[in-house]
Each structure stands twice: as C-alpha cells, then as structure tokens.
Amino acid sequence: MTLPTTLDQMIAPMTSDHLPQVMAIDAQCYPLPWSRDVYEAELARPHDRLYVIAGPDQVVGHAGVAFEKDEAHITTVTVSPDCRGQGIGARLFLALALAACRRNTSLALEVAADNPAAQALYRRFGLAPVGIQRGYYANMGLSPDAVVMRVDDIQQPDYVNRLTRIAVELDCA
C-alpha cells in the first residue's frame, strides 16, 4: 500500500531538525512535555518507531507509534492549538495507521479519560475502549485515569477499507 499523494505531501518523517518546532507545540499542550533527549532516543530507533510531522514547511502537528511484537502502540498525537479541527490530527493518525497495518495485527493507545476530542479521533479509526488504567497520568496535571483504546485485525480488508474511506473523506486518496 502506498501513501496517498496528498498525505505524502503533508506528512513527513520527523527528523532532529523538526524538534524545536515539535517541542514548542508540546510546551503549549502538555504539563510535562517530552525532553529533547526523549525525542532523540525515539528517533534513534527507526526499526521499531515511526514519528511523523504535519507540515511540511511549518510543523503544525506530530505523531508517533512504537511497533511492538503484535501491536502498534501510539505514543503521541499532537496538533498545535491554533490548527485544530481541520483534520490534521486525522491525517497524522492515518499515516501511522497505514504503517501499522503493514506491520502489526493491533493498534492501541492510552488517552486521558477527560479528552473527548482525542477519543473521537480514535473512534473514527475504529479504536474502542477496552479498559481503564487508574492513575496512568498521575502527576501530569491531566485527568489521572487513562482509557485504553484498541482495534484488532488491522491487516484485514475491513480495516484497510476503513482507512481508504477515511483517506477519501480527508481528500487524501
């Protein structure tokens, strides 16, 4: 499966050069944003990590996924506060989901229990709540509880068709 052309134009692999802009967005979004060292460590693992930015000239969002044994685990999806509601989060997620369904059978993540916008985005991609992790975000200034969301069988035609439908809706097909 190749990335839709327009998605390819908007979404690019994250490099160290993007980090000042990525971290500036995080500083507006998270009480305890990742340090440069954490990002550098993630970028040093291209065999089992994928980090992407939405841009490409000015970074307006970023997202990442860890490819584990059977599961692709989303590590972050973040859009600059002044650029939300334009489908950028969905395009970032689509890029990760397309990569995940080439490598893994499931896609999962944790999301703060009081984050309806992110949960709506993940439901669009077929993820459903499968549990609660109490205190997951303790000391982070967010709702302390995380909802675990997951979708299985992402290599099956039904899920690939869902991604294709979303790509059409986003004008990325």
Ligand X SMILES: CC(C)(COP(=O)(O)OP(=O)(O)OC[C@H]1O[C@@H](n2cnc3c(N)ncnc32)[C@H](O)[C@@H]1OP(=O)(O)O)[C@@H](O)C(=O)NCCC(=O)NCCS
- State yes or no: residue 64 binds ligand X (CB under 6 A): no
Burial status of residue 173 (CB atoms within 10 A of its CB: 0-12, 13-18, 19 or more): middle
**2-10, 97-105, 119-127, 151-159 -> range binding ligand X (CB under 6 A):** 119-127
Closest approach of ligand X to the CB of residue 8, in Å: 18
Interface stretch with ligand X, choices 32-40, 65-73, 85-93, 127-135 (CB under 6 A): 85-93
Phi, psi of 125 (to 5 degrees): -90, 15
Ramachandran quadrant class, 136 (left: phi over 0; alpha: psi -120 to 50; beta: rest): alpha
Residues 65-84 that bind ligand X (CB under 6 A): 77-79, 84
Among 41-49, 111-119, 132-140, 154-162, the segment contacting ligand X (CB under 6 A): 111-119
Enclosing H/E stretch for 12: strand 11-13
Does 151 interact with ligand X (rule: CB under 6 A)? no
Question: Which amino acid, residue 132?
Answer: I
Q: What is the DSSP string of 39-79?
A: HHHHHT-TTTEEEEEE-SSS--EEEEEEE-SSEEEEEEEEE
**Site size for ligand X (CB under 6 A):** 19
Distance of closest approach, residue 103 Cβ to ligand X, in angstroms: 21
Give the contacts of 118 (CB within 8 A, at least 6 positions apart).
Answer: 77, 89, 111, 112
* Closest residue by beta carbon to ligand X: 89
Residue from 62, 89, 95, 162 that binds ligand X (CB under 6 A)?
Answer: 89
The residue ranges that bind ligand X (CB under 6 A) are: 29, 77-79, 84-90, 111, 115-118, 120-121, 124
